[in-house]
Amino acid sequence: MDLSFESTTLDIPAIRRDFPILERETAPGVQLVYLDNAATSQKPVQVIESMDFYYRQMNANIHRGIHCLAEEATVAYEDARKKIASFIGAESWRQIVFTRNTTESLNLLAYSWGRANLKAGDRILLTEMEHHSNIVPWQMLASEVGVTLDFVTLTDQGKLDQESYATLLEREPKLVSFTQMSNMLGTITPVAEMTEQAHRAGAVVIIDAAQSVPHMPVDVQELGVDFMVFSAHKMLGPTGIGILYGRKELLQEMPPFLGGGDMIKRVQLGGFTMNDLPYKFEAGTPAIAEGIGFGEAVDYLANLGMEAVHQYEQALTAYALERLEEVPGIQVYGPEAEDKGGVLSFIYDDIHTHDVAHILDSFGIAIRAGHHCAQPAHQHFDIDATSRASFYIYNVKEEVDQLIEGLYKVKEIFG
């Protein structure tokens, strides 16, 4: 991939004008530099206005009413589902289950698929680079039913050790679940190849795509995965809504996650009949405005083109890595730019990560500090925490330069 800015087809100044928050000053004369996109992305005006329009013009519950507001809201909400299905290459909109977020999607899988298909003595294969959301639900399941968890180790470069992966597959895990892009290291994993290996070993495969779907082309059919999960708020959409994609036959076999309205066809005192996919997993009134905003976010990204988004962010990451090499005392974790997304986690001499983030914030630069809900990955490198700068389509080289200038000022303050 070309890591130069010259090849980008994106109109970055025009994109930046779509994000009102980028005009904000965090203090008088201090312009916001937002570099915390792995935690959540900012929202373009198109997404904000779509949600505002719903509340102003067609606020009603969906699937239940026959008046015009209810019908308009239902169409807008279900259109968003169809857009998301197309965006990730799903065969059918019925494979798209709305949840609250990636975490809930993974918990749904652990609760519904896991409890129905796993028993004591079965193995689950995870990796050391997983977000806690892809570790803790499986630990909870292990304590309940007696399954065993194995973990693929990391290399010194922050990639998955493929020899470790192959060896652990020989234990015939029933489930393999791993991230497509690490939220701490930025590492992009070879999903298609690893999925094929897992299937040959007889495992079902879950992909945590919270960090990948917002930033690169992702096609579930090309990858061959059984389930995939991600969130709207990391891809220009609102908080409080996420996606569980699944192969239709697997979703049909799974028991419901929650009981109540909309997940049923019929209820009698003696029992109930489940609704069709995807509704049997969507009990109660959903996040309607958020779903509509999610659809608008998908439109925005699709219009830009995900290959162009990925190329631009890798060019920005390569530039940031080059600039960080100039700063004495900085150690960046993870692979080189061509093997990672726009995530740079680093330590700065013996300066505490919270101090780094606090001082940068005084200059308007927003980064993350801590373990980023990825403590096992930090433990692998024998560190407790890192500072993390993460990029998106509205970030520019000048903001990277401001980050570097801010880091030199951090050093001045700490001598």
The residues annotated with a catalytic role in the active site are 373
Give me the long-range contacts of 29-33 (CB less than 8 A, separation at least 24): 30/362, 30/363, 30/364, 31/364, 32/364, 32/366, 33/363, 33/364, 33/365, 33/366, 33/399, 33/402, 33/403
Contact yes or no for 280/254 (Cβ under 8 A): no
Q: Is the pLDDT of residue 266 over 70?
A: yes
- Please list the residue range(s) of the chain that carry CATH number 3.90.1150.10: 5-44+305-413
| Residue 104 exposure: Cα atoms within 13 Å on the Cβ side | 16
- Please list the residue range(s) of the chain that carry CATH number 3.40.640.10: 48-303
pLDDT tens figures, 30-71: 999 999 999 999 999 999 999 999 999 999 999 988 999 999
The pLDDT of residue 1: 53
Segment 260-281 shows an average pLDDT of 90
Query: Has domain 5-44+305-413 been given CATH number 3.40.50.970?
Result: no
pLDDT tens figures, 355-400: 999 999 999 999 999 999 999 999 999 999 999 999 999 999 999 9
Look up tokens 């998301």; give the residue. 84
Antiparallel, parallel or unpaired: β 264-268 and 242-246? unpaired
Segment 134-162 shows an average pLDDT of 97
pLDDT tens figures, 101-136: 999 999 999 999 999 999 999 999 999 999 999 999
* pLDDT-above-90 percentage for the chain: 93
Where helices occur in 150-287 by DSSP H, the ranges are: 162-169, 191-200, 220-223, 248-253
CA dist 241 and 331 (Å) reads 35
CA dist 47 and 19 (Å) reads 10
> Which CATH class, in words, describes the domain spanning 48-303?
alpha beta
The pLDDT of residue 355: 97
The pLDDT of residue 262: 87
